[in-house]
Amino acid sequence: MAAPVVGSTRPEGVETIPIIDFGSQYAQLIARRVREAGAFSVLVAPDVSMEHLRSLNPAGIILSGGPASIDEPGAPRCDPDIFELGIPVLGICYGMQLGCHMLGASVERAEHREYGRAKLVTDVKGGGLFAGLPEELTVWMSHGDQVTCLPDHFDVLAHTNTCPAAAIVHKERSFYGLQFHPEVTHTPHGVDLLRNFLYEICRVRGTWRMADFLESQCKTVSDLVGDRRVICGLSGGVDSSVVAALLHRAIGDRLTCIFVDNGLLRKNERDLVDTTFRDHFDVDLRVVDASKQFLDDLAGIEDPQEKRRLIGHRFIDVFRASADEVAESGGPPVHFLAQGTLYPDVIESGQGHAGTAANIKLHHNVGGLPEELGFELIEPLRDLFKDEVRSLGEVLGLPSHVVWRHPFPGPGLAVRVLGEVTEQKLKVLRDCDEIVLDEIISANLYRSTNQVFAVLLPVKSVGVMGDGRTYDSVVAVRAVETQDFMTADWARIPFDVLATISNRIINEVQGVNRVVYDISSKPPATIEWE
């Protein structure tokens, strides 16, 4: 049986806007927009109970869009008693259609399916949902059904040329509906609409602040842990670093961090983690050098999936042994394992999406590691998005180079050395990687890009250095821009910066005579090469 998971809770006194998720690809984006406006939001499944909704002390509820049609067999529904809670409800796209259907309106196939930008004309003036907005708005439509035959207790707030009821309100139940998507950037005034719902209709006070969240989480963790001990797997990435800093503030010396040097790290990375946490935060940090074991496992292995599998299994063995040593070293008993699971991880794993439930993704529980160790999980970031984690890191006082660090793959440089991994190849790649990052930072491009790195290719090419012929390795440089890492575009790095990177690598790194730049987007390519 898997170990129980202890997640974060709604900060005390913070207003909550539950979002009932009917499978919309934009559900997380709605949650982000609500939080950015100053209210706490959380996704819940359509079958959420009224008891659970009331426990969230909601100021309002949002019904998300979704791919289904109202009359489809198995189309998701929510409890109609949400309209009896006495709080405002906003339905978006499918959420509007479902709410109207529940309250007596008809939903039919539209004669003209709307997809893309449309001109919205408001039919009311004054306050409410459209307070302070122009009479005509550009909005983003994506629907094949629409609401028809509205009973008298509905008012139409806005329309388009092909959708007579593009925005509506139920005069008695405080239900508002939008047939378009206000959460996407293609609806320029969409954020203003959501803010109007929050502040003009739900009357929220805008109390969602990261400093308050920090204090609330510290109290929750401290009360939970008591006089027991927590171990935290520290990788040096943003998520695990913020978890470690938060736990250190909450429980002090009852936290022990374990950093595994797998021999696949970037240049000087081990020293950076050691300096940041042992010196800056005075954390009990155990550094485990297991580089030989990892590299021995990878000898002769070229398949990227096999590399990942071997690295994952070895990590479990090393971490288990390290955790046993911590437990046997005396002091308070080790009862909890902390990790940096984020809200998108929870949703993607099915724990809060469209009524499904599943375990956390493999790379977040390290292949079943919590179950094998028998610890309870503490996941203080599981209600946060990535940008919110960075904000929390700043509140905690983490150095900016840690807070804004680009993602680094769990298997490390093993997936950036294509083909067999050797110590010599790792040395070449580390030197190249250091130059790439050095020049990107010098050109003030690090914060405007989301991931930048070098890849050592398993090919050689002919070159000329001085008066001699060379036959050396090729290095690819990859830089991408992305918001969610689900899709990404290659970054338009200035040619002079690329030229400097290429010249430095070829001149300073022995064994490389050619540098190429990857201009592939995701999809069809992936961000990493393996």
Single-letter code of the amino acid located at 259:
F
In which residue are the tokens 């935290």 written?
A: 232
Query: Which positions ≥6 away from 55 have C-beta within 8 Å?
Result: none
Catalytically annotated residue among 15, 78, 93, 159: 93
In this structure, what is the dihedral angle of CA atoms 427, 429, 435, 440, given to the nearest 10 degrees? -150
Pull the structure tokens for residue 139: 């909005």
Chain mean position to CA 122: 35
How far is the C-alpha of 147 from the C-alpha of 164, rounded, in Å? 9
* Cβ count near 523 (within 10 Å): 9
Alpha-carbon distance values, 404 to 11, 237, 274 (Å): 25, 9, 18
Residue 215 and residue 249: Cα distance in Å, rounded?
9
Between CA 456 and CA 453 the distance in angstroms is 10
Q: Are 431 and 469 in contact (CB under 8 A)?
A: no
Q: What is the DSSP-derived secondary structure letter of residue 154?
A: E
439 included as an active-site residue: no
Do the beta carbons of residue 506 and residue 512 sit within 8 Å? yes
Whether 183 is a known active-site residue: answer yes
**Helix/strand/coil (H/E/C) assignment for every residue in 208-246:** CCHHHHHHHHHHHHHHHHCCCEEEEECCCCHHHHHHHHH
Catalytic residue among 159, 170, 181, 353: 181
Hey, CA dihedral for 208, 212, 216, 221, is it positive or negative?
Answer: positive
CA distance between the termini of the chain: 33
Query: 13: burial class by Cβ within 10 Å (0-12, 13-18, 19+)?
Result: exposed
Residue at token pair 């580390």: 430
Distance, in Å, from the CA atom of 56 to the CA atom of 62, rounded to the nearest integer, reads 14
Establish whether 257 is a catalytic residue. Answer: no
Run of H or E including 470: strand 468-481
With CA atoms as reference, report the closest residue to 327 among 507, 319, 517, 272: 319
Query: What is the spatial distance between Cα 33 and Cα 364, in angstroms, rounded to a whole number?
Result: 26
Tell the residue number behind the tokens 């006070």, with chain if given: 205
The angle that helices 386-396 and 210-225 make with each other, rounded to 10 degrees, is: 80
**Length of the chain measured in residues:** 530
| Catalytic annotation, pick one of 15, 183, 379, 530 | 183
Beta strands in 237-295 (DSSP E): 255-261, 284-289
- Hey, what amino acid is at 353? H
**Position 401, amino acid:** H
Cβ atoms 440, 506 nearer than 8 A: no
Which positions are catalytic?
Answer: 93, 181, 183
